[in-house]
Amino acid sequence: MSEELITQRDGRVERVAPYLTEDQIQERVRALGAELTRDYAGQDVVAVAVLKGSILFFTDLIRQTELPGLTCDFLGLSSYGSRTESSGVVRLTQDLSQHVEGRHVLIVEDIVDTGLTMQYLLDNLATRKPASVQICTLLHKPSGTRVEVPMKYVGFTIENHFVVGYGLDYDERYRQLPYIGIMSFEDPGD
Ligand code: 5GP
């Protein structure tokens, strides 16, 4: 895997230390795809990418499924807060383009930390009367849990780190990395 990434920005140093390799991620995504293929065989399923963090995971995951009844949709959520901590105040910034009533919804998320974002989305989707709703998250940080949300599919359970890469950003950067790294900061005086 690549070396640590070191960037100077806004007068401080940003470091991204490799954590989950591209191979580890792709192997796990293949396994999740196979599981989804088994669980949703013959069903009308709407796979929903939660923008923007899940984009890389979503596009890899759907390619690892063999589900002729699968359709894709996109949903935007924003959570207010600092750049590395979620506040729990969630807002829908972009809605689905399809009706989901009576259909099986699969939410594809990048990371579940406090659970507040997914709780908001589950409550919102429930009003639309889908046949079922399941969450497929690439990462889960159990140490951050404030509300328990049911996650049927979890890629990796991780420690309490702020991670970037493979869709996850810091200040809109690092999404394009094919691996996941742990982000840390250094002020010049440190
Ligand atoms: P929750 O509502 O579960 O606390 O947080 C969910 C959202 O917070 C994620 O969709 C993601 O946007 C952001 N988030 C939580 N932890 C991390 C992290 O370690 N790295 C990044 N880049 N975003 C995170």
For 79, the token pair is 């959570």
Q: Who contacts 17 (Cβ-Cβ below 8 Å, separation ≥6)?
A: 4, 181, 182, 184
Cα-only R_g, the chain: 17
Q: DSSP letter at 11?
A: T
Marked catalytic residue, from 23, 95, 113, 123 = 113
Any atom of ligand 1 within 6 Å of the Cβ of 155: no
The pLDDT score that the predictor gives to residue 86 is 66
How many CA atoms, within 13 angstroms, populate the side-chain half-sphere of residue 67? 26
Any atom of ligand 1 within 6 Å of the Cβ of 54: no
**Which of these ranges, 74-88, 99-113, 117-131, has the smallest mean pLDDT?**
74-88
The pLDDT score that the predictor gives to residue 78 is 83
* Residue 190 known to be catalytic: no
For 66, the token pair is 């063999």
Q: Whose CA is nearest to atom 9 of ligand 1?
A: 111
Confidence of residue 189 (pLDDT cuts 50, 70, 90): low
Taking only the tens place, the pLDDT of each residue in 72-95 is 999 999 876 666 666 678 989 999
Any atom of ligand 1 within 6 Å of the Cβ of 75: no
